[in-house]
Amino acid sequence: SQKIEQNSEALNIQEGKTATLTCNYTNYSPAYLQWYRQDPGRGPVFLLLIRENEKEKRKERLKVTFDTTLKQSLFHITASQPADSATYLCALTGGGFQKLVFGTGTRLLVSP
Amino acid sequence: SQTIHQWPATLVQPVGSPLSLECTVEGTSNPNLYWYRQAAGRGLQLLFYSVGIGQISSEVPQNLSASRPQDRQFILSSKKLLLSDSGFYLCAWRSTADGSYNEQFFGPGTRLTVL
């Protein structure tokens, strides 16, 4: 069966450290993988998209890697700040470019 | 710029009552539109998506239906709510313009509680 797995346990790190979140998938062949941020009671906000032929993508303090052999994406936030505390969702294309399938998300807590 | 509106923000309804949630998008044409539900502590479940007026694809057989009467309007409905319909409902849109990315833009959501 198809699965997208993100660590359900919250990730607690100290301010200034690098946070690394993992997204693993099985039985998908996604053309794109995306990362979103969701704050409590709000809709997700798009952060980064990486294509299947790209190994790495960066945006400011964010970095995403995509390994189609391992079927894994890593999401890094460098120099993390308390304002980065949120739930981060990975999503990939499933069943056509029109649709995204989301993981359950990992909650990140950055303490001062 | 584009914006997406959803209303109401919160809703408390009795079991068996009807439901109508509305979503509108501004600043874009011919978007793909989506309805998701997020149960407490769970991921986003795609309920319906639409690639054009009157075109609705259902992802999960259930108590809900969707309609797209206008290009930038998407409505989620139910004739009789169940307790299991409680959750956080999110509308989203995706641009179909040439050169656009595949990302989706979400509305603020509707928190539905069925009692």
Name the residue ranges covered by the structural domains of chain B: 3-114
Q: How far is CA A22 from CA A11, A69, A86, A91, B42, in A?
A: 11, 15, 15, 12, 17
Residue pair A80/A71 in contact (Cβ under 8 Å)? The answer is no
Q: What is the pLDDT of residue B102?
A: 78
Is the CB of A46 less than 8 angstroms away from the CB of B109? Answer: no
Query: Once rounded to an integer, what is the mean pLDDT over residues A73-101?
Result: 90
Rounded Cα distance, A13 and B56, in Å: 43
Q: What is the pLDDT of residue A10?
A: 92
Q: Which residues pair with residue A72 across a beta bridge?
A: A24, A67
B80 and chain A: CB distance < 8 Å anywhere? no
Does residue A97 register a pLDDT over 80? no
With CA atoms as reference, report the closest residue to A3 among A95, A98, A104. Answer: A104
| Chain center to CA of A12 | 16
B90–chain A nearest CA distance, Å:
7
CB-CB: which of B43, B51, B109 is closest to A98?
B51
Does residue B61 register a pLDDT over 70? no
Domains in chain A, number: 1
Residue pair B68/B55 in contact (Cβ under 8 Å)? The answer is yes
Domain ranges, residue A86: 3-111
- Which pLDDT tens digit goes with each residue over B7-43? 999 999 999 999 999 999 999 999 999 999 998 777 8
- In A19-46, which positions are buried (b, 16+ CB within 10 angstroms) versus exposed (e)? bebebbbeebebebbbbbbbeeebbbeb
B46: chain A residues, CB-CB within 8 Å = 99-101
Q: At B83, phi and psi to the nearest 5?
A: -55, -40
- Which pLDDT tens digit goes with each residue over B78-95? 999 999 999 999 999 998
B11–chain A nearest CA distance, Å:
14
Does residue A98 register a pLDDT over 80? no
Lowest mean pLDDT among B24-28, B48-52, B99-103, B107-111: B99-103
Name the token pair of B26: 């501004």
Interface subset of B 11-70, CB within 8 angstroms of A: 32, 36, 42-44, 46, 49, 51, 59
CATH number, domain containing residue A70: 2.60.40.10
What residue of A is the nearest CA neighbor of B95? A98
- Which pLDDT tens digit goes with each residue over A35-68? 999 999 999 999 999 988 899 999 999 999 999 9
Is the CB of A104 less than 8 angstroms away from the CB of B111? Answer: no
In total, the C-beta contacts within 8 angstroms joining chain A to chain B are 46
CATH class assigned to B3-114:
mainly beta
Q: What is the pLDDT of residue B74?
A: 97
CB-CB: which of B90, B102, B107 is closest to A49?
B102
Share above pLDDT 70 across residues of chain B, in percent, rounded to a whole number: 97
Q: What is the pLDDT of residue A27?
A: 87
Query: Once rounded to an integer, what is the mean pLDDT over residues A11-20?
Result: 97
